[in-house]
């Protein structure tokens, strides 16, 4: 299911600038989730610290990786993007090893990652593997997609440090704060 987002991003950036695609995604999600919070009368958290945490999650976990991936997919195929995003679990395992208590890299975790990455490569096929590299612009776009994968890995670590909250409120706060940053950067705003 997650992999279909690369296909839809590929279709979207064919006719719409990456920044506009990202702003649309984040602002629509923020509106829907905020509507859920308001309609169900869930309380919003108080205090600037939690909102700064939401802002970090909104930028690092949504606005920035969405932009990097969308911008990268203006030139590279969705299969290549999906393959490059396979780096995210490895980056998460490595970061967690150093930044999260009781999340050490074990032989089983390393083996699981390698097996999973091999499965992604197999599913994407040899065409995606051949798509790695190319001219300097293609390589720059591929690095951007890898940057998106690293943002998701960092976001996973940041999310673990979020205090216990209602998941709808946390998602709404994250998308709401990310949408402010995103909408300010969009050429359509």
Interatomic CA distance for residues 33 and 24, integer angstroms: 14
Q: Is the pLDDT of residue 122 over 80?
A: no
75, 124, 166, 167, 170 from 36: Cα distances, Å: 36, 36, 12, 11, 12
- Quick one: average pLDDT of 114-125? 74
Which residue, 69, 70, 71, 117, is CA-closest to 92? 117
The overall pTM is greater than 0.85: no
- Quick one: average pLDDT of 18-24? 81
- Quick one: average pLDDT of 133-139? 73
- Quick one: average pLDDT of 86-105? 83
- Quick one: average pLDDT of 72-81? 82
The pLDDT value recorded for residue 133 is: 66
């Amino acid at each position: 299911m997650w992999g279909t987002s690369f296909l839809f991003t590929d279709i979207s950036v064919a006719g719409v600038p990456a920044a506009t695609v990202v702003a649309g995604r984040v602002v629509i999600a923020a509106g829907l989730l905020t509507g859920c919070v308001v309609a169900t009368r869930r309380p919003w958290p108080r205090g600037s610290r939690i909102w700064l945490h939401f802002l970090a999650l909104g930028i690092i976990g949504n606005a920035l990786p969405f932009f990097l991936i969308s911008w990268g997919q203006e030139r590279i195929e969705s299969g290549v993007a999906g393959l490059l995003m396979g780096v995210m679990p490895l980056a998460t395992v490595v970061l967690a090893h150093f930044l999260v208590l009781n999340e050490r890299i074990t032989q089983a975790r390393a083996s699981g990652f390698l097996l999973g990455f091999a499965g992604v490569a197999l599913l994407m096929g040899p065409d995606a593997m051949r798509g790695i590299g190319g001219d300097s612009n293609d390589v720059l776009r591929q690095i951007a997609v890898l940057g998106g994968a690293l943002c998701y890995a960092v976001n996973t670590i940041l999310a673990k440090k979020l205090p216990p909250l209602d998941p709808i409120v946390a998602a709404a706060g994250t998308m709401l704060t990310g949408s402010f940053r995103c909408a300010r950067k969009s050429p359509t705003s």
